[in-house]
Amino acid sequence: MKGLKQLAAVSLMNFRNLGRRLDSSLVAVIGFAGVVLVVVAILSIRAGFRSTLASTGSPDVAIVLRGGAGSEVNSVLAGNSDSIVDQAPGVAQGSNGPLVSPELLVQISLKKRGSGLQSNVSFRGVTAAAFKVHPRVHIVAGRMLSPGLNEVIVGADAARLFQGVQLGDTLHSGRYDWKVAGIFDDGGGLHNSEIWTSLPVLQGAYQRGNSVSSMYAQLTGASAFPEFQQSLEHNPQLNVSVQRESDYFAGQAQGLSMFIGIVGVILAVLMGGGAVFGAVNTMYTAVAARTQEIAMLRALGFARTPVLCSVLIEALVLGLVGGVCGGVLAYLLFNGFQATTFNTLTIIAFRFAVTPQLLGWGLVYALAMGILGGILPAVRAARLPIAASLRQA
């Protein structure tokens, strides 16, 4: 109890004297805030990208690709595969038959609005079943495309990002011109960055015969997936790989997520080292300015531990203030910020996501920097020689 009273007394004295060293304290706070701001902002890119892809997938929808294909882009399935998939166990039934959506994905190049730079865009051929298997897709402007006609519907993000794909425009691609009949939204998922058209028309335009890239199957439930997967992957008539849609899109995000995570850790270490160095200087300055006060307290019977802990508490408070400021700034500046993947990839629009988890980790990191910045000055304060310090007075 005596130690706690001494700790409270010393800490109160420290905070009362903060005004005398406001400049150095602000330097430490700004350093901590800057580190948290940058690291949280970078990691929010990963969180936003993963959220976009995760929101596209569902655990009770399966995607069928050619065996060994890593993605839809390099997958080719024969057109007669759909009849086998239709009859697989676990496939849900709709009013017009099995809920299986054969889809063809090709890449086209469009100019970005503003910059005029060319970027790849996913052009997806679908049938009416696609709107049952991907139920979040809905028209927000214009109308639904007419099957068999050279019409497209454009994802909301694609319409925002690219030239010539606004409602009523004519898109020139392949052997045809395509009329933009409508704009669709799928609730912030991957398909918002795509352009959709009628499957037979896209197959003819790109001379793909009756082949498709993938087949999406709505299952009767998530528990039906293992039997569905086994029946297709062990069918000698097929050479396919089957995944849950949610797992497939999570895997597509893995490479970029890992890269961004590594960059975030490297920056956290490098910038954190600088912030800790600034905090060490701040706390050493604070201890030097209070040498006489600390010596007098020790002479009056205050133990070393309360003195040491009081310096650590001050450093923690500076870290806490910096962490809160950095987190608030990161949220205000970057949460919901619209971005796209790099031009070398198929363009995917997403939004930064400053999540509570990221803010929590940022705050913990700021406190850790505060402890590292305060530990050496705290030890020095606890070891100050009483007699020599008093003689300096």
- Does some domain include residue 141? yes
Can you give the pLDDT at residue 124? 96
Same domain, 141 and 187: yes
What is the pLDDT averaged over residues 302-322?
Answer: 78
Whether 354 maps to a domain, the answer reads: yes
User: Is 229 domain-assigned?
Assistant: no
Mean pLDDT of 325-333: 93
How many Å apart are CA 10 and CA 314, to the nearest integer?
A: 10
- Write out pLDDT tens, residues 372-389: 877 777 677 667 676 655
307 & 265 share domain: yes
Mean pLDDT of 332-346: 71
Domain presence at residue 216: yes
Same domain, 80 and 207: yes
Burial 324-354, CB ≥16 within 10 A → b, else e: bbbbebbbeebbeeeeebeeeebbbbbbbbb
33 shares its domain with 88: no
Residue 259 has pLDDT above 90, yes or no: no
Residue span of the structural domain in which 141 resides: 61-220
How far is the C-alpha of 52 from the C-alpha of 231, rounded, in Å?
A: 30
Tokens, residue 240: 């396919």
Q: Please tell me the predicted confidence (pLDDT) of residue 306.
A: 72
Q: How confident is the model at residue 3 (pLDDT cuts 50, 70, 90)?
A: low
Q: Which residues pair with 102 in a beta bridge?
A: 215
Q: Does a structural domain hold residue 243?
A: no
Query: Looking at the structure, do residues 188 and 68 belong to the same domain, yes or no?
Result: yes
Please check whether residues 209 and 257 belong to one and the same domain. no
> In 193-352, which ranges are continuous DSSP H helix?
199-205, 225-233, 245-289, 291-299, 304-334
What local confidence, expressed as pLDDT, does residue 368 receive? 87
Specify whether 128 is located in the same domain as 265: no
Do 210 and 104 belong together in one domain? yes
Nearest to 316 by CA among 371, 379, 255, 279: 371
Closest CA to 134 of 235, 63, 45, 229: 63
Residue 276 located in a structural domain: yes
Q: What is the pLDDT of residue 344?
A: 44
Whether 241 is in a domain gets the answer no
Q: What confidence tens digit (pLDDT) does each residue in 145-168 have?
A: 998 899 999 999 999 989 999 999
pLDDT tens-digit map of 172-194: 876 788 999 999 998 888 889 89
User: What's the pLDDT band for 31 if we cut at 50, 70, 90?
Assistant: confident
Sign of CA dihedral 370, 371, 376, 378: positive
Q: In this structure, are 209 and 265 located in the same domain?
A: no
Same domain? 144 vs 80: yes
- The answer to whether position 247 is within a domain reads no
Q: 77-116, pLDDT tens digit by residue?
A: 987 788 889 999 999 998 889 999 999 999 998 988 888 8
Q: Which two tokens stand for residue 243?
A: 């995944």
Cα 355 to Cα 41, 253, 387: the distances in Å are 10, 18, 53
Q: Which residues pair with 215 in a beta bridge?
A: 64, 102
- Asked which of 198, 220, 242 is the last residue of a domain, the reply is 220
Q: Which residue has the tokens 């109308």?
A: 143
Of 199, 220, 241, the one marking the end of a domain is 220
Q: Are 149 and 265 in the same domain? A: no
On whether both 304 and 356 belong to a single domain, the answer is yes
Which among 36, 43, 40 has a CA at the least distance from the CA of 322? 36
> What's the total number of domains in the chain?
2
> What rounded mean pLDDT belongs to the chain?
83
Instruction: Tell whether the model's pLDDT for residue 128 goes beyond 90.
Output: yes
Q: What is the dihedral of CA 127, 131, 134, 137, to 10 degrees?
A: 120
List, in order, residues 6 or more apart from 287 with CB less than 8 Å away: 294, 311, 377, 378, 380, 381, 384
